[in-house]
Structure formats: structure tokens, C-alpha cells
């Protein structure tokens, strides 16, 4: 006979000492155990399958909108938030730095363009006699600007012609002068001096003498004294020629200034 006491889950027989089990009772218990084992086995077999998500049943495909974080925010919202953060970062960077950066650039492209700007920055500092490298921090490069010497360049020289028929002497510089002055001092005669001055992009017409002339700008630029014994002829932005068509033995003093 079956027992009055049963197990909690499968309700198997739990006989006491004064109860007599029958073979059929064992058979029934074995059937219950076998059924429970099958159900357990089937549940393990299908354990990796999702049968329901957010009221969706059947063959469910998980999307970012279906998965929530511990705070209750979906993964999709978090991804959108991350994308917006990155997009705002690129827009802010492009806005602050300006061209050649663009908000449509990738971060790798922005990095490359910023490095190019730093390299150019360093090259310009080197041109101003400031030792620099594109590998330095931007802050370091900026701080070197205050070390640039703002003084204008100037240089002077003289040329002794000797006793020649025509004097023609070239002067070459490494920078563009804004003002050039030449003074001719004759080695023998005090009255045979000459003075000339040239000022870039000006209508300068008087230079210590009362008779100074300038040729049109579309020809060789030259300006000379009334005695015509000192002339300045512009050859290029960085070079000029001292000319005395009458020659003679003299010393020519010249001065070039960057205004």
C-alpha cells in the first residue's frame, strides 16, 4: 500500500515501520522519478534559448533597446549618449581650432591635422631663430613666441671703387629692406659727392638734397641725387645695385633698413 507521508516535490512514498509497501507503489515512484528526470534534462538542453524578452515571445532577436543596465536605462540609450558625447567633442574641437579641422573629421584625422599644424608652428618658430620641434607640447611652442626678438633688421657697408669709368656694385641681403640709402664720397674732390635714398612702396622724393627723382615703378626702380653720382637700382626684393655712371675714385657708403 502507498504511504501516507509523501516527499515534498515528487510526492514519493515515505513508509513508516508499520506500513507495508507494494510492488506497484515502487513502480509509481519510479515513474515519477523518471518523469522528473526527463523534465530536468529537457530544461538543461534548452537552457541557452531566450523564450521571452519584454513581452516578445518565440524566436527572439535581442536588440540594444531590449537590454537594460542595472539603473534601468537601455543599452541603446547608453550607446546614443556615448555617440552624442563623441560628436559634441569633435564639434567643440573643430570650433575652437578652426580650419583645417572639421566636425565631420574622424578623431584620427583630427589628430593628423593638429600634428601638421604643430609641425608648421615649429617651422615658423625656427625661422625666427627659436629652436622648436613638432613633438613638443602646444603649450611649449606657444610660450616660445614671447622669446622672438621683434627688432627690425639693418645692415651697412661700404665699397671703394678705385679709378674706374663706371661704378656698378651689387648688394645681396637675406631679407627685404624697406629703406636704402647710399652716400658717395669722392676720394679727391669735395664737391663731387652724391646721395640717394629708396623707400619701398612710397612716393619719397626728397633725401637731403633738393633735386631727387624717381623712375616709374614698372621700370628699374632707381632714385639719385642731383649730381647723378649715386644711384640705387632695385634688382629684386632682397638685392640692389649701386651705380655711378661717371665713375672716378670714390667710396660708397650704404645702409639698408627693415622698417
Please say whether the beta carbons of 20 and 1 come within 8 A: yes
pLDDT level of residue 109 (50, 70, 90 thresholds):
very high
Question: 21 pLDDT exceeds 80?
Answer: no
In the chain, what percentage of residues exceed pLDDT 90?
A: 10
- Average pLDDT over the chain, rounded to whole? 76
What is the reported pLDDT for 233?
Answer: 84
pLDDT per residue as tens digits for the range 69-82: 677 777 777 788 88
The residue that leads in pLDDT, 167 or 1, is 167
Residue 12 has pLDDT above 70, yes or no: yes
Give per-residue pLDDT as tens, 209-258.
Answer: 333 333 343 344 444 444 567 788 888 888 988 888 877 888 889 899 98
At residue 171 the predicted structure's pLDDT band, cuts being 50, 70 and 90, is: very high
pLDDT the model gives residue 57: 61
Q: Domains of the chain: which residue ranges? A: 106-150, 153-258
* pLDDT band (50, 70, 90) for residue 186: confident
- CATH entry 2.60.40 includes domain 153-258: yes
Bigger pLDDT: 200 or 224?
A: 200
Say yes or no to pLDDT of 167 above 60. Answer: yes
Mean pLDDT of all residues in 53-58: 60
Of 124, 160, 163, 173, whose CA–CA distance to 144 is shortest?
Answer: 124
Among 106-115, 141-150, 171-180, name the one with the lowest average pLDDT: 141-150
The CA angle 208-213-218, to the nearest 5 degrees, is 135
What pLDDT is recorded for position 162? 82
Residue 1 has what pLDDT? Answer: 63
Q: Does 205 score more than 50 pLDDT?
A: no
Q: Which of 86-90, 151-155, 197-201 has the lowest mean pLDDT?
A: 197-201
Amino acid at each position: 500500500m502507498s504511504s501516507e507521508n509523501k516527499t515534498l516535490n515528487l510526492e514519493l512514498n515515505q513508509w513508516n515501520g508499520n506500513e507495508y509497501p507494494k510492488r506497484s507503489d515502487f513502480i509509481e515512484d519510479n515513474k515519477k522519478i523518471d518523469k522528473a528526470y526527463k523534465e530536468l534534462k529537457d530544461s538543461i538542453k534548452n537552457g541557452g534559448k531566450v523564450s521571452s524578452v519584454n513581452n516578445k515571445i518565440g524566436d527572439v532577436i535581442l536588440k540594444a533597446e531590449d537590454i537594460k543596465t542595472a539603473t534601468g536605462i537601455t543599452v541603446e540609450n547608453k550607446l546614443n549618449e556615448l555617440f552624442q558625447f563623441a560628436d559634441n567633442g569633435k564639434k567643440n574641437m573643430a570650433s575652437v581650432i578652426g580650419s583645417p579641422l572639421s566636425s565631420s573629421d574622424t578623431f584620427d584625422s583630427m589628430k593628423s591635422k593638429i600634428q601638421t599644424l604643430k609641425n608648421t608652428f615649429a617651422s615658423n618658430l625656427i625661422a625666427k631663430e627659436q629652436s622648436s620641434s613638432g613633438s613638443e607640447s602646444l603649450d611649449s611652442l606657444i610660450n616660445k613666441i614671447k622669446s622672438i626678438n621683434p627688432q627690425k633688421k639693418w645692415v651697412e657697408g661700404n665699397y671703394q671703387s678705385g679709378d674706374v669709368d663706371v661704378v656698378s656694385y651689387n648688394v645681396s641681403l637675406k631679407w627685404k629692406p624697406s629703406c636704402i640709402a647710399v652716400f658717395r664720397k669722392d676720394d679727391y674732390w669735395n664737391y663731387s659727392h652724391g646721395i640717394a635714398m629708396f623707400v619701398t612702396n612710397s612716393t619719397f622724393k626728397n633725401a637731403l638734397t633738393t633735386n631727387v627723382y624717381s623712375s616709374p615703378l614698372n621700370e628699374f626702380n632707381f632714385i639719385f641725387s642731383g649730381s647723378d653720382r649715386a644711384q640705387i637700382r632695385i634688382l629684386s626684393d632682397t638685392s640692389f645695385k649701386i651705380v655711378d655712371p661717371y665713375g672716378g675714385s670714390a667710396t660708397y657708403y650704404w645702409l639698408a633698413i627693415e622698417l
